[in-house]
Amino acid sequence: MTTRTMSRPIEATMTDPSLGLPTISMAVPMPGFPAHKEFVLVRLNDDGLLYALTSLDNPELRFLVAPPEPFFPEYAPEIDESVFAALNTKDPDRVLLLTVITAGKEETTANLLAPIVVDRDSMRAMQTVLTGSGYPVRAIMNRSY
């Protein structure tokens, strides 16, 4: 079956997340995963649209994440100052926003309520809840972009 061979390159990049990739430290652990503080971001496709946020503490744990802009052009979350403080952010333009993707049998969704904010200089990250924003936890991903 062609799907197996197609998925092999993905696996090859996943097996050793410690290949000199910069480690991202969670300033606050992700809700539900208090024991996982260090992650690496592994690129899964050539466009740079899909990444696996893979735990260094347990490489079995990974989250699919993507920059939200190509899929949700209207998405303009306001990041609280306290997030920048927790990430030691000096330049808010240097933060990378990632949305957590949930693969489902019926549909694939993106968590717009709680994006992961990564400071590219401090390499610290946290998942922040956009309280009062009205953004959904499960936004259906748009195929056409």
Binding site for another protein (CB under 8 A): 3, 6-7, 10-11, 27-28, 30-33, 44-45, 47, 49-50, 52, 60-64, 66, 82, 85-86, 100-104, 108, 111, 113-114, 127, 129, 131, 137-138, 141, 143-144
Which residue's CB is nearer to another protein, number 33 or number 75?
Answer: 33
How far are the Cα atoms of 49, 77, 80, 84 from residue 92, in angstroms, in the given order? Answer: 21, 13, 11, 7
Which residue's CB is nearer to another protein, number 96 or number 133?
Answer: 133
- As measured in angstroms, the least distance from the Cβ of 70 to another protein is 9
Contact (CB, 8 A) for 40 and 54: yes
Q: State the pairing for strand pair 124-127/24-26.
A: parallel
- As measured in angstroms, the least distance from the Cβ of 92 to another protein is 16
Nearest to 125 by CA among 137, 114, 139: 114
- As measured in angstroms, the least distance from the Cβ of 45 to another protein is 5
Which residue's CB is nearer to another protein, number 21 or number 129?
Answer: 129
Amino acid at position 62, single letter? R
Nearest to 95 by CA among 77, 113, 74: 77
Which residue's CB is nearer to another protein, number 13 or number 96?
Answer: 13
